[in-house]
């Protein structure tokens, strides 16, 4: 390894490109990490009713009965919070709760469409 951190046969151009690639990779990592941390700030309420996914068939027995009775009139929460196990935190993670009750670490994302 040469004194400047490059390998013996690496030119300055190759070393610059290598550093540029590393910087780009680091920027992407930081952006993904920031997005993940925002997901874990609070569960985000949606306006979607908690309903089965298309093609879902209710299983027979206790699980089907539980789902049919308990999951009525609930709204979808997405993401996760600081109290959610790390492996569960992601934008696609779907939770549910009654909108008129308090739930741990919930919030809302406000957005508007740009005028055209």
Q: How far apart are CA 39 and CA 26, in angstroms?
A: 20
Q: How far apart are CA 90 and CA 19, in angstroms?
A: 31
Q: Quick check: 49 and 97 in contact, CB under 8 A?
A: no
Tens digits of residue pLDDT in 73-89: 888 888 888 788 888 88
- Domain boundaries defined on the chain: 42-107
How confident is the model at residue 92, as a pLDDT?
84
Q: How far apart are CA 54 and CA 98, in angstroms?
A: 22
**pTM to 2 decimal places:** 0.54
How confident is the model at residue 1, as a pLDDT?
46
The DSSP secondary structure of 11-67, one letter per residue, reads -HHHHHHHHHHHHHHHHHHHHHHHHHHHHTT-EEEEEEE--PPTT--PPSSHHHHHH
Tens digits of residue pLDDT in 87-106: 888 888 888 888 787 777 78
């Amino acid at each position: 390894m040469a004194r400047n951190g490059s390998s013996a046969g690496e030119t300055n151009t190759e070393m610059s490109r290598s550093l540029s690639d590393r910087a780009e990779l680091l920027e992407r990592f930081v952006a993904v990490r920031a997005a993940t941390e925002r997901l874990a700030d609070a569960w985000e309420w949606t306006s979607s009713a908690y309903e089965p996914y298309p093609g879902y068939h209710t299983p027979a027995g206790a699980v089907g009965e539980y789902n049919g009775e308990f999951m009525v009139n609930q709204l979808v929460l997405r993401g996760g919070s600081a109290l959610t196990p790390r492996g569960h935190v992601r934008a696609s993670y779907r939770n549910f709760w009654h909108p008129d009750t308090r739930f741990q670490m919930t919030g809302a994302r406000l957005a508007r469409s740009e005028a055209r």
